[in-house]
Amino acid sequence: MWPTSRTHYAGRRVERAVAIEDLRRAAHRRLPAFVAEYLEGGAEREVTLARNRDAFSQRTLAPRALVDVSAVNLSTTLFGQTLPLPLVVAPTGLNGLLTDQGDLRLAAAASQAGVPFAQSMVSMATIDAVAARLHTPHWMQLYVLRDRDFVLHLIDRALAAHCSALVLTVDGPVYGNREWDRRHYVRPAVLGWPSRIETLAHPRWLADIWRRGRGPRFVNVEAFTGTRMSAPQTAHWLRERMDASLNWNDLAWLRERWPRLLIVKGLLAADDVRRAIDAGVDGVVLSNHGGRQLDLVGSPLDLLPEVASFAKGRIALLMDGGIRRGSDIAQALALGADAVLVGRAALYGLAAAGEDGAARALAILADELARTMALLGRPSVNALDETIFACEAEPRPATTNGRRSVRVA
């Protein structure tokens, strides 16, 4: 008899989470609505947000039988360094709103898993503090502001902290129209009263966030401005100073000033990848910013085969967007990615249970990837290629994404 109802585990014992969705449900129970919306939401109708997930359902896998998979090897080489897992923790901002010292806890989980950690420019921990938590590669993400002195300041601090890579995000010349996020505010940086009152229903979250007697702040921005601002105020300050004139000449300028690995994140056109290669970058991340910038664009997964046909082996080819399963990682690698960046999946764990939750999220993805590879009959990452797919599935109608609630019981 099929059970009359199925429920995901959403409790505090993260070891009981068996899938990323369990951690997502637990995160939603703990977070106030405005924070959960920031974590989950996308731009406008959120079509791209849905496409990122749908892309992983379009292909049919074709397992090989009678292959020795007694020892599945998940390790890969990225930028000349061996990693135990083809995964990078993506740069994400405002993690201090998910849990106290969120960036440090997420970095510690990445270090425990042995994978690189990309720190966001709008993280809520200093570059030095994150570096102290890491025993794995430390990447620093950059948005370019009109004030180039800020860019040079951040570069100097990243070099001093021994960051091995700079990740330039290029898909944010203006802020995406995240309508559902905006509805929580009466004006920029000011929460409406319904959202304020709803927040009071989450005392455990409030006690955690304010345990140090102050809310989280963008300390790397404050180090440059010398001005103490609340997180919403600083976010507004940054939005007003984004450089919408950023162009290929600026990439050349940055290449001259950054002597280590340079990665460009946010490309969605093959011709742009070619130009990035010609500009001397070391890697690119195919990305639509998690569906949070321009709606109606395609999934990075679908662009991978075309880009891999000319970029594979010349630069590191990375992608992000919608990864929730180990089988998603396997598909990305088979289509040409050298590794994937994981954002929301790790943040669900972080929001649910701090460092332990983030570590559990990464462990779930690793376990699922190993199981997927074994069942496919591919005992190593290098054996993942387009032969894992059967004939292409018939195209499915585009998802019509009605509004979902960010609150999960």
* Residue 58 known to bind ligand: no
Residue whose pair of structure tokens reads 């639509």 in the numeric block: 288
Amino acid 136 reads T
Residue 274's nearest CA partner among 233, 247, 309, 319 is 309
- Closest by CA position to 31, among listed 102, 108, 88: 102
Q: Is 324 annotated as a binding residue?
A: yes
Structure tokens at 79: 């930028």
Among candidate residues 28, 184, 202, 289, the one labeled active-site is 289
> How far is the C-alpha of 41 from the C-alpha of 183, rounded, in Å?
12
Q: Please tell me whether 300 is known to bind a ligand.
A: no
Is 292 annotated in some ligand binding site? yes
What distance in Å separates the CA atoms of residue 106 and residue 8, rounded to the nearest whole number?
23
**Type of residue numbered 73:** N
402 is in an annotated binding site: no
38 labelled binding-site residue: yes
Q: Is 178 annotated as a binding residue?
A: yes
CB-side exposure of 293: number of CA atoms within 13 Å?
Answer: 18
Measured distance CA(213)–CA(352) in Å, rounded: 22
* Residue type for position 385: D
The answer to whether 8 is annotated as binding is: no
Is 320 annotated for ligand binding? Answer: yes
User: Known binder of ligand: residue 234?
Assistant: no
Active site residue 289: yes
323 has binding-site annotation? yes
Q: Is 287 annotated as a binding residue?
A: yes
Annotated binding site for FMN, which residues? 91-93, 120, 141, 169, 265, 287, 320-324, 343-344
Annotated binding site for glyoxylate, which residues? 38, 143, 178, 289, 292
Annotated binding site, which residues? 38, 91-93, 120, 141, 143, 169, 178, 265, 287, 289, 292, 320-324, 343-344
* Active site members: 289
